[in-house]
Amino acid sequence: MNPTDQLRDIRGLDTISWWPLAPGWWVLIGFTFLLFIIVGILIYRRRAKRKRQDNWRQIARKEWLTLRPLHAPAREQITFLSILLRRVAIQRHGRDACAGLSGEKWLAWLTKHDPQYFDWIKSGRILIEVPYMPKDAWIDNYQVDLVYRAVRAWIDE
């Protein structure tokens, strides 16, 4: 017997299986999954915050539109506009910034923070004068209209 007859051809290595994955791949998959979850949560929170912000604006716009019925006296319109303006200011700047203000300080604060630079001290004085006017006092509709438009600017800022 010839010793070379016992020799066989060199056989190649077995192919490397893709499964099970190496630990590095599992770490990469876990990191990618975690990244998707974090991005999803951030997107959800941002949309929820935007929806909350738009929600109070929509409510304020509806109230603003219903405050101006043609048959309502100017005194009632100014009273409701004053209440709505206070609520919008609190929503926009926080309770601590403006809730305790009244009279001239309230008008000065409004003038300082107004988005359209409306002069509340001069043109918005009607807000602090109406509650103390006699019931039959005449109120200029032009002043009411100015305040009405200025409140809308606060809502739409």
Could you tell me if 82 and 45 lie in one domain? no
Predicted local confidence at residue 68, as pLDDT: 66
Could you tell me if 97 and 27 lie in one domain? no
Q: Domain range holding 40?
A: 21-55
Per DSSP, the residues of the chain read --GGGG--PPPPPPPPPS-SPPHHHHHHHHHHHHHHHHHHHHHHHHHHHHHHHHHHHHHHHHHHHHT--TTS-HHHHHHHHHHHHHHHHHHHH-HHHHTT--HHHHHHHHHHH-TT---HHHHSTHHHHGGGS-TT----HHHHHHHHHHHHHHHH-
Predicted local confidence at residue 70, as pLDDT: 60
**Total domains in the fold of the chain:** 2
pTM above 0.75, yes or no: no
Could you tell me if 76 and 47 lie in one domain? no
The answer to whether residue 41 sits within a structural domain is yes
Could you tell me if 43 and 95 lie in one domain? no
- Mean pLDDT of residues grouped by 10 in the chain (157 residues)? 80 81 93 97 90 77 75 83 90 87 91 88 88 85 88 83
Nearest to 63 by CA among 77, 52, 48: 77
115 Cβ contact partners less than 8 Å away, ≥ 6 residues apart: 153, 154, 157
Could you tell me if 93 and 139 lie in one domain? yes
